[in-house]
A and B are shown apart, each in its own frame.
Chain A
Amino acid sequence: MRWIWIDKFVEFHSGQRAVAIKNVTLAEEHLHDHFPGFPVMPETLCIEAMAQTAGILVGEAKNFEEKVILAKIKKAAFFDYVKPGDTIKLEAKIESITDEAASTTGRISCDGKLVAEIDLMFSHIDKNLAGKEFPQENFVFTDTFKSLMRGAAFNS
């Protein structure tokens, strides 16, 4: 199971908002456990998809120099479930951003219907978490994530 929960960016407004999409397909193994006979995308993985959309938006705002990690899920509310064959659209907006942290709001929709509202907080870990040890290099924004940016419709 790769840990990439979005497929591509369709809009990217640096420092402000981004829109990504994810296709949900029976080829994804975990769906067969959740649940056997009626696969739906686990809500926690929907949260991860939003965290990746919003996290890349926040990271790019600082030129991927900071290690940006999910620190708090302020609120995640689900109004519908998502099935194989669906394409979900994830829209994330930066609400606040400082040297230490960022706050984002987001919504997931499918075919125009609201699936979820997810508000997150990210921490720039070099500026926080004193006392915890981790490697120097930016292991968060790997080439895999950066490659999602290629082909996105960039607007500044």
Chain B
Amino acid sequence: MVELMRFILIDRVISLEAGREIKTVKNVSLAEEYLADHFPVFPVLPGVLLLEGLVESASWLVRETENFAHSMILLEQARNVKYKSFLAPGGQIEYTVTAKTIEENVSSFAGFGSSNGEQIVEAKFALRHFNLADEDSGMAAVDAKIIENMKQRWKLLW
């Protein structure tokens, strides 16, 4: 029977300056199933999940800063995402994400992740934030449910 894996790529927020910067950490453990495929005999956190850690960190900065105004926060663009080293089970990565701009429906960031003083990843990226009700007012209840869920998840992280 397959275990239920959660798609949450950060574990804790260690500092937050609304509108400006957030620092988070993620532990890497062999308990994370996809490591068995990535790669066999050489488990390392997949590069896109390092980017996801940066995206989630930025998303939380947006949610806090805009007081959970929007339900949907999605990656709109990523550029010059560089992978400099590998992150193995037993390791921990600290993400630092700095906001360049945070507007009502778009925001842009520069971020990097390091582990034990070693640079692992860096990226420039932009998010878009919106409510489903913006297009379809019938979706307001779905927005509310997502936002409530995110607020609960936030309590685990910060």
Contacts and interface: CB of A to CB of B under 8 A. Distances in A.
Contacts of A130: none
A71 B82 contact: yes
Interface residues of A, number: 40
A35 B72 contact: yes
Interface in A1-60: 1-4, 29-31, 33-38, 40, 42-45, 47-48, 51
B85 interface: yes
B149 A48 contact: no
A117 to B, nearest CB: 10
A81 B25 CA distance: 27
Contacts of A73: 47, 51, 78-81, 123
Interface string A64-95: 00000111111111100100000000000000
A2 B3 CA distance: 11
A72 B82 CA distance: 5
Given A29-B4, A137-B41, A139-B40, A38 B77 contact: no
Contacts of A43: 55, 74-75
A48 B48 contact: yes
A70 B49 CA distance: 12
B8 interface: yes
Given A4-B37, A72-B81, A78-B76, A38 B71 contact: yes
Contacts of B7: 29-31, 33-34, 42
Given A37-B149, A137-B41, A44 B77 contact: no
Contact of B74 (A1, A29, A81): A81
A132 interface: yes
B44 to A, nearest CB: 9
Contacts of B85: 132
Contacts of B155: none
Interface centre among B33, B39, B145, B149 (most CB of A within 10 A): B39
Contacts of B80: 72-74
Nearest to A139: B39
11 contacts: A31-B7, A35-B150, A36-B146, A36-B149, A37-B142, A42-B7, A43-B74, A43-B75, A44-B75, A45-B48, A76-B78
Interface of A: 1-4, 29-31, 33-38, 40, 42-45, 47-48, 51, 69-78, 81, 132, 134-135, 137, 139-140, 142, 144
